[in-house]
Amino acid sequence: MPSRKDILSSDPNTKTIEFGPLSNAEVNGFNKFLVINKKGLTFFDEIFPVGSTHEQVRILYLLTTEATAAYVLTLPERFPDLQEFHWIDAYNTDIAKIEVDEQKAKLWEKVVIFKEEQSQGISKKILEHNGFPNLAELSVDYYSPSENNGKQLIEQLDKAPKLEKLKVGNMEMLLSDLALLNGKARNLETLHLSNIWHRKEKDNVSSIVAENLKHLKLEDMKRKDETLGYKLKLEPHWMNFIIDYFTKMEKLTIYHDPHQNGEVTKIRDLKEHAKVNYITLINHCLDKENVKYVTINP
């Protein structure tokens, strides 16, 4: 399977900056840029100098670069028409030490798509100060699982009222956090939870119905156990919650690591009671009672 770098580099509408130096003529006509490695970042800064504004850059991918969180926060001031931004936090920045105020956050108001990986969650800091009023898609893949990082992000999602697509990965999450998400992201249409560590709560969790959610993707859901570590399993109480509160959902995809046996239950209930049209399970073991209700791949 081709890497994301290969896919982006092969796009004729994307200018890849990896070697240089570059001339203005080489970047004319492009508004989508892929910056790779330290040298690429240096040449990018030379062609679009810090301290000046450049309306040309609308879409920016910083992949395997030396960009810091402090550097990232200066980008919308340099590129006032930035609409889509992707970033890998190679430094694993301590976000608590990064200062974001309303003035800095406001600079992100034109951004529609924001994605960050291996991060502590710089998007949360921007959201806290109402910096994403037009955000339609957010993807946050945390550097390491934590009990707090997901909930802290979810608590801010009502400050992105146009959010329709959300992916969060590599974090601990309770059903109560999912219930909170239903209330905070009322216009969400697609939700992708990846590498989520979950554990059972003592009390039943209630929620409002996710009125607009059409597609739910659950990838490598892990049941956390204080003595056994974790097991690749989607617990029945999670499925019960989905059946009760994701009643408008049309498509469910559940994926597990192909090297481990993933467990999932209540597929029949989901199909019959929640009226989900398309259920796809990837790398799963199912009993005969449930297998007829799904598309299995492989």
For the stretch 130-156, pLDDT in tens is: 999 999 999 999 877 765 677 889 999
pTM of the model: 0.88
SS (H, E, C) 219-235: ECCEEEECCCEEEEEEC
Q: What is the pLDDT of residue 226?
A: 58
**27: enclosing H helix or E strand:** helix 24-27
Q: What is the pLDDT of residue 262?
A: 53
In the chain, what are the domain boundaries? 1-135, 162-173+180-198+212-297
Cβ atoms within 10 Å of 224's Cβ, excluding its own: 17
Per-residue pLDDT at 134:
98
Distances 288 to 268, 283, 292 between C-alpha atoms, Å: 11, 16, 7
Residue 288's pLDDT is what?
A: 46
Distance CA 125, CA 93 (A): 13
- pLDDT for 52 equals 92
Query: Tens of pLDDT along the chain (298 residues)?
Result: 455 666 566 788 899 999 878 889 999 999 999 998 888 999 999 999 988 999 999 999 998 667 888 889 989 999 999 999 999 877 666 677 778 899 999 999 999 999 998 887 889 999 999 999 999 999 999 877 765 677 889 999 999 999 999 999 988 888 899 999 999 999 999 999 998 888 777 667 889 999 999 999 988 887 766 555 556 667 778 888 888 899 888 888 888 665 555 556 666 666 666 567 777 766 555 544 554 445 544 4
Coarse DSSP helix, strand, coil percentages of the chain, rounded to the nearest 5 percent: 30, 25, 45
Q: If we measure between CA atoms, which residue out of 181, 172, 187 comes closest to residue 208?
A: 181
Cα torsion 159, 54, 5, 172 to 10°: value is: -20
List, for residues 194-211, the tens digit of each pLDDT value.
988 887 776 678 899 999
Task: Tell me the residue ranges of DSSP E strands in the chain.
Answer: 14-17, 32-36, 59-63, 84-88, 113-119, 137-142, 165-172, 190-198, 215-219, 222-225, 229-234, 251-255, 263-264, 278-282, 295-296
Radius of gyration of the chain (CA): 21
Distance CA 66, CA 82 (A): 20
Structure tokens at 3: 């890497």
